[in-house]
């Protein structure tokens, strides 16, 4: 392999240099135990896998060990959770384990905005980076199209019901649904951070231009269709969930579903290829499944159940990824994904950095696109120690589930031994294993200590338990999440949220769904400016959504939006194509 040096090369340069030594995807599949007829190649280096055939063929094989990667509350720059996931996969490979990873497909929003792609970094990346970052096999496009087709069905029906009498509708086999244009259940999707589309007016024009009404866009990866892809067991389950999606409400307040609009079948047809997980590889050639999407703050934010079930039959160790910190990403993995899948994890890795702990300890504000203050690169043991309370909160959350926590100190070359020692002492005192990992700099070789700690953690039998039973009222669950996981003193509700929760409690179909909180990822609280482990605060719930298809209730905390905004210095300014080689540069 070409000499790859993360200290002198950018991530995209490493990814492009690694292309020359990549395994063909048929080789990756063959080494994993996937037959030729079970692989659908998309070029030489990417494929989709026929999960039905593999799961049926290996149904009697015991599952491998199941590991989730989560993190502490991150800085706005992220703390290398995907980098750690890739590094752990490479490290387990280095110590001779048959291993797979599962990560989420990046959204165009962050890829072209501030945060960049989500392939990992340094020598711990998923490749090919360009294809991974720019559409892959079209899953997110399919989600956008399926979601927007439901909105086409809703808005066209509103127009026709407004313009025509019952006789006209009946001749066309349509039943009047009396849809209330003032109360749609969702808007449109686009996979960019497009704040200008948050609120729009549609139907402007004449009678044939639709019904004029207020609408808006959310980012595609926050769509309920994405959530359905993440939690569906198979195509039949996906089809049933699509049918249950609520697109609008009648004038009497009854839900209008995709099935009512006779669009659920077409939506599933759009998604029928997307349900097969994508197969890629690490820089060191280990197999990586890429399926479902990010944003655990405004969505479920998990790699798919199908990808995990598939990998657990093919490998002895499988490493999956949850979005953001343990308060939201791991919590949803624990209480939603594992509940839907029936899978029991063996260990959870909590990614931690000296940089993030310094921020939580009172360090200067971290602003994406601007150079880090020297406080984050110069040694400051006291500042690191002051931020350890945030790490301890996340360790306690993982321990509540009965899963073994392993703290991974994602090592930056500016970290001092004294700062690392402070973190190790705090994490071990809180009951976690600790490993320092240099996977960004050294790949699998740098992750051996982490891999060994994870193997040890997996030897202990988990005492897995959910935080709440589904019989618990939704309001009580929100209180439990707020006080036990986030550390709030209680919860407040807007009148609108209170009214919706009362309606949910009265509806047996809704009362038994899971709970998927929408909350900022930048704080344990609802306020992104509050760092550390905040005390003496109340969680404000301003709205509550019902995702009947995905199978959960979505309380919305604070001012968080389902459509992020693009910054004044977005990363798309740096992305271009080398017209001589055809290779893309500038993705990070």
Question: 11-30+40-137+274-459 and 474-557 share one CATH topology?
Answer: no
Q: CATH number of the domain at 11-30+40-137+274-459, please? A: 3.40.50.300
Superfamily of domain 474-557: Formyltetrahydrofolate synthetase, domain 3 (3.10.410.10)
pLDDT-wise least confident of 277-286, 359-368, 486-495: 359-368
Residue 1 has a pLDDT of 52
Band (pLDDT 50/70/90 cuts) for residue 78 is confident
Query: Which of these is catalytic: 132, 192, 324, 330?
Result: 324
Mean pLDDT for the stretch of residues 211-234: 96
- Given the residues 65, 81, 358, 442, select the one marked as catalytic: 81
Name the active-site residue from 296, 315, 356, 426. 296
Catalytic: which of 65, 104, 332, 533? Answer: 104
- What integer pLDDT is reported at residue 123 of this predicted model? 96
pLDDT tens readout for residues 281-323: 999 999 999 999 988 888 899 999 999 999 999 999 999 999 8
**Do residues 297 and 328 lie in contact, with contact meaning Cβ atoms separated by under 8 Å?**
yes
Other beta carbons within 10 angstroms of residue 359's beta carbon come to: 28
- Per the annotation, the verdict on 269 as an active-site residue is no
Q: How confident is the model at residue 456 (pLDDT cuts 50, 70, 90)?
A: very high
Q: Where are the domains of the chain?
A: 11-30+40-137+274-459, 139-268, 474-557
Is the pLDDT assigned to residue 369 strictly greater than 90? no
| Range of lowest pLDDT (163-167, 380-384, 432-436, 476-480) | 163-167
Q: How does residue 2 score in pLDDT terms, banded at 50, 70 and 90?
A: low
pLDDT digits (tens, 9 = 90+) for 329-359: 999 999 999 999 999 999 999 999 999 999 9
Q: Please say if 330 is a catalytic residue.
A: no
Q: Please say if 162 is a catalytic residue.
A: no
| Distance separating alpha carbons of residues 233 and 134, to the nearest angstrom | 27
How many CB atoms neighbour CB 200 within 10 A? 14
pLDDT of residue 38: 98
Q: How far apart are the C-alpha atoms of 82 and 9, rounded to whole Å?
A: 19
- Give me the catalytic one of 83, 111, 155, 566: 83
Owner of token pair 């759009």:
270
CA dihedral sign, ordered 23, 29, 35, 41: negative
Residue 59 has pLDDT above 80, yes or no: yes
Comparing CA positions, the residue from 224, 258, 282, 232 lying closest to residue 103 is: 282
Do residues 158 and 178 make contact, with C-beta atoms less than 8 angstroms apart? no
**Beta-ladder partners of 184:** 248
Contact between 296 and 518 (Cβ < 8 Å)? no
What average pLDDT does range 509-536 have in this prediction?
95
Phi, psi of 430 (to 5 degrees): -85, 0
User: Mean pLDDT across the chain, nearest whole number?
Assistant: 95
> How many whole angstroms separate alpha carbon 17 and alpha carbon 491?
51
From the list 48, 65, 94, 115, the catalytic residue is 115
Our answer to whether residue 438 is catalytic in this structure is no
pLDDT band at 118 (very low <50, low <70, confident <90, very high): confident
- Is residue 324 annotated as a catalytic residue, yes or no? yes
Q: Taking Cα atoms as reference points, which of 338, 280, 329 lies closest to residue 309?
A: 338
Cα–Cα distance for residue pair 12/17, rounded to 1 Å: 8
Strand partners, 302: 322
Parallel, antiparallel, or unpaired: how do β-strands 200-202 and 213-215 relate? antiparallel
Question: Structure tokens of 51?
Answer: 């999960």
Region 354-378: what's the mean pLDDT? Answer: 92
- Kindly name the residue from 412, 464, 466, 572 that is annotated as catalytic: 412
In DSSP notation, 350-366 reads EEE-HHHHHHHTTPPPP
Cα–Cα distance measured from residue 226 to residue 550, given in angstroms and rounded to the nearest whole number:
9
Angle of helix 235-244 versus helix 264-271 axis, rounded to 10? 140
Instruction: Tell me whether residue 81 is one of the annotated catalytic residues.
Output: yes
User: Average pLDDT of 224-229?
Assistant: 96
Query: pLDDT tens across 87-111, in order?
Result: 999 999 999 999 999 999 999 988 9
pLDDT over threshold 60, residue 514: yes
**Catalytically annotated residue among 132, 192, 295, 440:** 440
Quick one: residue 279, left, alpha or beta (phi over 0 = left, psi -120 to 50 = alpha)? beta
CATH homologous superfamily for 139-268? Domain 2, N(10)-formyltetrahydrofolate synthetase (3.30.1510.10)
Confidence of residue 549 (pLDDT cuts 50, 70, 90): very high
Contact assessment for residue 197 and residue 217, using Cβ atoms and an 8 Å cutoff = yes
> 455: which residues sit within 8 A by CB, 6+ positions away?
92, 95, 97, 317
Report how far Cα 157 is from the mean position of its chain's Cα atoms.
33
């Amino acid at each position: 392999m070409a000499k790859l040096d993360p200290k002198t090369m950018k991530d995209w340069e490493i990814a492009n240099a690694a292309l020359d030594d990549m395994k063909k995807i048929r080789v990756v599949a063959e080494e994993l135990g996937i037959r030729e007829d079970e692989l659908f190649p998309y070029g030489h280096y990417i494929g989709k896998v026929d999960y039905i055939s593999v799961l049926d063929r290996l149904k009697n094989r015991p599952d491998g060990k199941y590991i989730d990667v989560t993190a502490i509350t991150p800085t706005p720059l992220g703390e290398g959770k995907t980098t750690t996931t890739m590094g752990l996969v490479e490290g387990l490979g280095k110590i001779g384990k048959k291993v797979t990873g599962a990560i989420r497909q990046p959204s165009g929003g962050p890829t072209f905005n501030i945060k960049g792609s989500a392939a990992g970094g340094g020598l711990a990346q998923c490749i090919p980076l360009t294809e991974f970052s720019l559409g892959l096999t079209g899953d997110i496009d399919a989600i956008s199209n399926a979601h927007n087709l439901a909105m086409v069905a809703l808005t066209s029906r509103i127009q026709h019901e407004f313009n025509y009498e019952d006789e006209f509708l009946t001749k066309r086999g349509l039943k009047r649904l009396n849809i209330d244009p003032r109360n749609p259940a969702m808007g449109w999707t686009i996979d960019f951070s497009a704040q200008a589309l948050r609120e729009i007016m549609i139907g402007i024009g004449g009678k044939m231009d639709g019904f004029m009404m207020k609408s808006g866009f959310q980012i595609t990866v926050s769509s309920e269709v994405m959530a359905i892809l993440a939690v569906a067991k198979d195509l039949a389950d996906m089809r049933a969930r699509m049918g249950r999606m609520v697109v609008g409400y009648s004038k009497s307040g009854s839900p209008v579903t995709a099935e009512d609009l006779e669009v659920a079948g077409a939506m599933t047809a759009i998604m029928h290829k997307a349900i097969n997980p994508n197969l890629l590889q690490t820089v060191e050639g280990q197999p990586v499944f890429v399926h479902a999407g990010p944003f655990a703050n405004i969505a479920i934010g998990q790699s798919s159940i199908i990808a995990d079930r598939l990998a657990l039959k093919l490998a002895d160790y499988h490493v999956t990824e949850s979005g953001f910190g343990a308060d939201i990403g791991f919590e949803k993995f624990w209480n939603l994904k594992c509940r839907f899948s029936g899978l029991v994890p063996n260990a959870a890795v909590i990614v931690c950095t000296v940089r993030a702990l310094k921020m939580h300890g009172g360090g200067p504000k971290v602003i994406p696109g601007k150079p880090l203050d020297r406080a984050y690169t110069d040694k400051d043991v006291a500042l690191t120690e002051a931020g350890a309370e945030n790490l301890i909160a996340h360790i306690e959350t993982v321990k509540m589930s009965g899963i073994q926590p392993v703290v991974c100190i994602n090592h930056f070359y500016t970290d001092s031994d004294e700062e690392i020692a402070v973190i190790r002492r705090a994490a071990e005192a809180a009951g976690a294993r600790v490993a320092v990992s240099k996977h960004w700099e050294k790949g699998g070789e740098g992750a051996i200590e982490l891999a060994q700690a994870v193997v040890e953690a997996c030897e202990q039998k988990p005492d897995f338990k959910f935080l709440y039973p589904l019989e618990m009222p939704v309001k009580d669950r929100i209180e439990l999440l707020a006080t036990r996981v986030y550390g709030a003193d209680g919860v407040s509700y807007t009148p609108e949220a209170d009214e919706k929760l009362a309606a949910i409690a009265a509806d047996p179909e809704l009362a038994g769904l899971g709970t998927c909180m929408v909350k900022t990822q930048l704080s344990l609280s609802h306020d992104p400016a509050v760092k550390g482990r905040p005390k003496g605060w109340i969680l404000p719930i301003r709205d509550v959504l019902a995702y009947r298809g995905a199978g959960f209730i979505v309380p919305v905390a604070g001012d968080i939006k389902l459509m992020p905004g693009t910054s004044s210095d977005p990363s798309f300014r740096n992305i271009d194509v080398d017209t001589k080689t055809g290779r893309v540069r500038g993705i990070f």
